[in-house]
Amino acid sequence: MGRRYWDERFFNDDDAPPRESRRRRRVRESDKELLCRLAARHKLEEMWEAKRLKYYLSDVFAEDPRA
């Protein structure tokens, strides 16, 4: 269920069209769309891993504050 905002849509929920499930949307995806989405997810995971590694290594290679 998505985020709800305090406006008339919050109170008139019956007027909203039914949402398609995530699984059904993925079934409709073409092979190209699926590959693009998976490549984007993989790239994001690589970027996150690099950021984490940089954070951990910054402590290792930090200059000695007492020097």
Residues 6+ apart with CB under 8 A from 10: 4
pLDDT at 34: 85
Buried b / exposed e along 8-24 (16+ C-beta atoms within 10 A): eeeeeeeeeeeeeeeee
Low-confidence ranges of the chain (pLDDT < 70): 1-20, 22-26, 64-67
Q: How far apart are CA 64 and CA 67, in angstroms?
A: 6
Rounded CA Rg of the chain: 22
